[in-house]
Structure 1
């Protein structure tokens, strides 16, 4: 890991100062999200973000060979008892999380689940086939089952018919496509659309919904706490679960802004005029 972080520091110079990777996107996102912050404060967040994103890329590659005992040391999970209890009680749960901190390392939760249960991950195919294959290998190391997002409902129903219990993980804070602009809310001072697929699956299957609260402790160490948002999704109003998720993500970002994916073109869509 020490060697990787030396490489990450070099990569930071190349990405941030020389290639200037998505600097305009990052700066616009930060400035619009934190209008109360000074330029000096925003620059500090920006630089810390680029250090983080370089670490993230190399830490993700490390997952290809990271020993199980090392992952246990570097990624701590909290409230796993309730997580496992709800899987056993309802046959499945939905876990929603943001692109934050070491979110790729949450695949290690599969090591704590019953061997016959399925840690299922909704997966968006990447444009580069080699990178796509690489991340599929990383995300399946500890028994993870990658499901293309358009096949999610079919795979969940198939698992239930086969008598399988599962935890369905979704990284659910990215911008939806034009056909999925169903849910709008205010997020980081901006009108923002969120995908509501996690909520729809939870309501359809009556699966309890957890938020995965991620906190980066220091370089190479992260903690994940599973926060139960609702045990009875069918008793919630339409959009209520997605709104709860949005508020959790916002609080996570406000606690330490640098560790979110600011390089995403998160606000590329505008809400249609009513």
Structure 2
């Protein structure tokens, strides 16, 4: 009962916030920035450790500037996520542009589906409207990890499905893709691929941003199972509230790649994206909490 009450209070508050125009939301974001960085110190130790370990060549002043930019970005991101509750399809399509979609669409047509590997970068949540440029009947499938609180989980599913996104929990992904394929549906399987995996998902280790890092390989396994071409989603944040997505083909024939090759390609592309404009990645995540020796010990 208490969780349900918190859900409705949170949902109502977010709904009211979403009514505000972007100009006022960004004024609120500036205030939230001051609170999170200078008062609450939101995950400051994690952010500073991640930045320092990732960019050992940068001076203390450069790292503090990246920290400042990141806090501004993450506050904008949170309010932009809330804004999705009330954004029109036209406004979302205007603020999230898509480039080079020709090959993307051709591969869906040719193979019956594709896999898109997406990072926690820039306005990635706004990709939920990518069905805008797909053919009617094609399914933009969004793989997500269910949240522990079922009410909050339901709220975010509603937000992400407003403009045609089809939410599928990660444990049901393969079964749902096979079902859709049997029904003759073409699908785009979108996966956020840069989370820190669980121990039982820690299959691909590499050096990433100067650190020993493990990546989830679920996207690669789905691509090989279905023989779907794999794309990397390159995101560019142009200014507040405006972003552009590009889709770069990593491989058309995943079954012909070596184990871990696709996941490694994703890691290398993500590293390039981050180094180009570092502030717009999720530095507050405990990305490197899993260590290789811990996995070996539990293996």
TM-score (normalizing by structure 1): 0.98
Post-superposition Cα deviations, 1:51-84, rounded to whole Å, max 9, x if no partner, equal 0000001111111111122122211101111111
1:140 has 2:161 as partner? yes
| Structure 2 CA distance for aligned equivalents of residues 262 and 134 of structure 1 | 25
Match of 2:267 in 1: 246
Match of 1:201 in 2: 222
Q: Greater helix share, 1 or 2?
A: 2
Q: CA deviation at 1:128?
A: 3.4
| Structure 1 CA distance for aligned equivalents of residues 230 and 216 of structure 2 | 15
Matches within 5 A, 1:185-196: 185-196=206-217
Match of 2:82 in 1: 61
User: What secondary structure, in the 3-state scheme, does the structure 2 residue paired with 1:126 have?
Assistant: coil
Which is higher, the Rg of structure 1 or of structure 2?
A: 2
| Structure 2 CA distance for aligned equivalents of residues 128 and 49 of structure 1 | 27
| Structure 1 CA distance for aligned equivalents of residues 289 and 89 of structure 2 | 39
User: What secondary structure, in the 3-state scheme, does the structure 1 residue paired with 2:120 have?
Assistant: coil
Q: CA deviation at 1:231?
A: 0.6
Most deviating of 149-158 and 186-195: 149-158
Match of 1:227 in 2: 248
1:33 has 2:54 as partner? yes
Match of 2:231 in 1: 210
User: What secondary structure, in the 3-state scheme, does the structure 1 residue paired with 2:42 have?
Assistant: coil
User: What secondary structure, in the 3-state scheme, does the structure 1 residue paired with 2:283 have?
Assistant: coil
Structure 2's unaligned 5+ residue stretches are 1-21
Match of 1:95 in 2: 116
| Structure 1 CA distance for aligned equivalents of residues 245 and 159 of structure 2 | 18
| Structure 2 CA distance for aligned equivalents of residues 237 and 94 of structure 1 | 17
Counterpart pick for 2:94 among 55, 73, 77:
73
Q: CA deviation at 1:133?
A: 2.0
| Structure 2 CA distance for aligned equivalents of residues 62 and 186 of structure 1 | 36
Counterpart pick for 1:179 among 181, 184, 200:
200
Matches within 5 A, 1:106-121: 106-121=127-142
User: What secondary structure, in the 3-state scheme, does the structure 2 residue paired with 1:50 have?
Assistant: helix
User: What secondary structure, in the 3-state scheme, does the structure 2 residue paired with 1:227 have?
Assistant: strand
- How many matched pairs? 274
Counterpart pick for 1:149 among 159, 170, 179:
170
Q: CA deviation at 1:92?
A: 0.4
Q: CA deviation at 1:130?
A: 3.6
Most deviating of 138-147 and 124-133: 124-133
TM-score (normalizing by structure 2): 0.90
Counterpart pick for 1:267 among 269, 281, 288:
288
Q: CA deviation at 1:127?
A: 2.8
Match of 2:18 in 1: none
Most deviating of 90-99 and 13-22: 13-22
User: What secondary structure, in the 3-state scheme, does the structure 1 residue paired with 2:142 have?
Assistant: strand
1:85 has 2:106 as partner? yes
Q: CA deviation at 1:129?
A: 3.3
**Change in 2 beyond 3 A, CA 1:9/1:130:** farther
